[in-house]
Structure 1
Amino acid sequence: MSAPVNLVSAREFARLDGCNDKLVRNAIKAGKLPVSGDGKIDAALAGTGWRRQNRRTADGADKGADSSKMSAPSTASADPGAAVVQIDDFISKVLAGQFLSMTDAERVKENGAAAKNLLVAMKEAGDVIDIEVAETVLFNQARQFRDAWMNWPARVGPLIAAELGVPPDPVLEALNKHVQQQLNDLGDPDAAFEDD
């Protein structure tokens, strides 16, 4: 049994692929991009490099800067921080007018579109969540823990007093004091998701 096909409009396909919908419509007209009977496109084709096979270079067309002058940022580095530095360097060079060759630029664009589509798919699958949602969940969980600790002396204080054969009020007072001090020492919950 094959997986269900997710058909989308040309405009939605262009958004998923990170390109202009005119480019998509031209590829459909030229028969270079398959469509269903109602003119819809399989969303799985977004980010697959369908544009590369449809590209033709006109004689004398600007092919971009010499690729030996500048290379595309590599994301294969084991250190994610290094990739951020390389991307920042890449952006500064482009802003300074040092452009990539058409092949390298297409590779960067396709990798960016693929990464964007992957993040969308991971979010839809529940593999990633927004930081705001995570912070809310962690804050609520910390509040529940705090409330449980604040109620703990009232639950166990009389039991401890009975085991020791002492009045419950001094035990409750001592437990409340130490639990409150512990909660104050822990401070407010702070989920630091950002890099320093």
Structure 2
Amino acid sequence: MGLSRRAYAAHRKERGLVGGTDAAVRKAIASGRIDVEPDGTIDPAKADAQWAAATDRNKVRTPESIEKGVEKARATIEADEKKPITQAQVQAVEEGSAVAENMEPQGTGGLSMAKAAAADKAYSAQLKKLRLDKEKGKLIDRKLATQQVYDLARKFRDSWMQLPARKAALMAADLGCDAHAMEQALDTMIRDHLAEMGEITIDLSQPEV
């Protein structure tokens, strides 16, 4: 009597062999890669030999081969990003982007193969255009821009709030009035003005043409 499918999967997993799951063993049986005994169990030695004989070792992906593949893909992407953009590429991107912007929304019937291919090409062109605009300095980081505007507004507010304490005495001396009263008047006026300025909102979305 041999092993059950689950036990055979555990057997392969313990030995570091591919097919160490119940689903993989079921698939191997269904595809004829390994045979089961008349009683429905699996002879581990026999099945291991059948599995090894039926497996194309060149297609077995080990952790090392996967890691090498990832590294190769990463190197290819980095090399591609460093390549200079040619005038022909710029023109192709601009043409593809124009196609994408002029494409009409599709109905519930879906896209034809030709239109789907055109949409995919146009979408790729838009992505390339974004990369091109970024390299040309035409694009900015929305989050960074919002934060910088906020920081600038806060510095602007703090500077004005400090003005009465710094300038009231000098202004009072020039005008011949009470310094404390001058500071209070300036403080009230500046606070009211800043409250009005605080109602201004900033919209970073692209305006419609």
What is the aligned partner in structure 2 of residue 130 from structure 1? Answer: 141
Asked if residue 150 in structure 1 is aligned to residue 161 in structure 2, the reply is yes
What is the aligned partner in structure 2 of residue 117 from structure 1? Answer: 128
Q: Write 1 or 2 for the structure with the bigger share of helix.
A: 2
Distance 2:80 2:198 in 1: 54
Distance 2:169 2:148 in 1: 33
Percent of residue pairs bearing the same amino acid type: 24
Of the three residues 99, 114, 120, the one matched with 2:111 is: 99
> What amino acid is the match of 2:121?
E
Structure of higher CA gyration radius: 2
Specify the SS of the correspondent of 2:177. Answer: coil
Instruction: Compare relative contact order (CA 8 Å, sep 6+) and give the higher one, 1 or 2.
Output: 1
Cα 1:108–1:150, aligned 2, differ >3 Å: closer, same or farther?
A: same
Cα 1:112–1:44, aligned 2, differ >3 Å: closer, same or farther?
A: farther
Unaligned residue ranges in structure 2 (runs of 5+): 1-70, 90-96
8 Å contact from structure 2 (residues 168, 182) kept in 1: yes
Please state how far the C-alpha of 1:143 moved relative to its aligned partner. 0.6
Unaligned residue ranges in structure 1 (runs of 5+): 1-8, 17-39, 49-73, 78-82
Output the aligned Cα RMSD.
4.0
Q: For structure 1, which segment, 162-171 or 126-135, has the greater mean C-alpha deviation from structure 2 after superposition?
A: 126-135
Please state how far the C-alpha of 1:76 moved relative to its aligned partner. 7.0
- Give the TM-score normalised by structure 1: 0.50
State the Cα deviation string for residues 53-104 of structure 1 (Å, max 9, x = none): xxxxxxxxxxxxxxxxxxxxx9479xxxxx5xx66x52x43xx2332352x4
- Give the TM-score normalised by structure 2: 0.48
Q: How many residues align?
A: 129
What is the aligned partner in structure 1 of residue 19 from structure 2? Answer: none
Cα 1:76–1:99, aligned 2, differ >3 Å: closer, same or farther?
A: closer
